[in-house]
Amino acid sequence: MNMLSNFENDPKQKLMIVGAPIEEGAGRLGALMGPAALRTAGLIRTLEEMGHPVDDHGDLRLPQTLPAVAPVAGLAHHIEKIAAWSRMLCVETYEAMKDGSFPVILGGDHSLSMGSVGGIARYCQENNRELFVLWLDAHSDFNTPATSPSGNMHGMSAALLCNEPGLEGVFGDEPHGLIKPENLHLFGIRSIDTVERKLLRERGIDVIDMRQIDEFGVAKLMRRIIERVQKANGILHVSFDVDFIDPSLAPGVGTTVPGGATYREAHLVMEMLHDSGVVGSLDIVELNPFLDDRGKSAMLLVDLVASLFGRQIYERPAVSDQSATALNT
């Protein structure tokens, strides 16, 4: 089946849910409980009540035998486990896209995006579709084993996907795709390591930090990304890290950075993405229930995902009608 990846044309498209209880890529334990917390907070029920057919595949489990990965130059903790997760997730998202489903990956730390996006990128390459990635995050995640000060692989996922050297052994012989550096949009950034900053400039990555959001607003900056994807007839993958949101609203994450997106900014991002019809896949990463406040972060995430899949405060006219109305006022 050919995946159209357009909710404007197929508003009740089948969703494929996969849990990736991975915490080996992070510096703090607890993210493995993220998928369970999202289900407990009502994610599946909410999507079904909105009319979306949901196929919940449950949580993946690491195989007993981990793949052998060649030694890397630098620090990359638990690379064998990350490689196993990446290869499994790559297969899951690729098969979901082939089946015409919208893959939603519940994490788990951000290293899972190596696999989830790798499978989606493979599908896009085979079907001549341009893949773009919106990385909603406080961090740029563009370290490599040679540059990482911690060796935590959740800080290397964007770099691997843009084919930075040092992590070639993660996928082994598993077919996977990569993304063009210019197609990666880092949004909401407010913490970048020194060497990362140099790499981001050299690779031409689109970095939208909180200063830009403060100055120009979410709507203008999101519209620029959406229009670029639409012009290319592309597919947009959304990788949503909990720490994109201000920690006063979502404390359940191990890498909090003050000054994140507000409640309305986060919802506006999701609402605009839904209206655009270009989103084809989603990661929800870094939820750590051990650090949360009575499920506060998980429940907010469920509300935000509902906005991405079409929940509205009030039914709005079609985009063309809105534009005409705006021009006449």
Q: Which residues are catalytic?
A: 110, 137, 139, 141, 154, 241, 243, 286
177: closest CA among 144, 129, 142, 136? 129
What pairing do the DSSP bridges indicate for beta strands 131-136 and 235-241?
parallel
Binding residue positions = 110, 137, 139, 141, 241, 243
The CA distances from residue 179 to 223, 224, 239, in Å, are 21, 19, 13
State the DSSP string of 197-250: HHHHHHHT-EEEEHHHHHHH-HHHHHHHHHHHHHHTT-EEEEEEEGGGB-TTT-
φ and ψ of 82, to 5 deg: -60, -40
Query: Using CA of residue 252, residue 255, residue 259, residue 265, what is the dihedral sign?
Result: negative
Measured at the CA of 46, the angle between CA 103 and CA 265, to 5 degrees, comes to: 80
φ and ψ of 118, to 5 deg: -60, -40
Binding residue positions for Mn(2+) = 110, 137, 139, 141, 241, 243
Task: Give the whole-angstrom CA distance, residue 261 versus residue 263.
Answer: 7
* Contact criterion met (CB below 8 Å) for 179 and 135: no
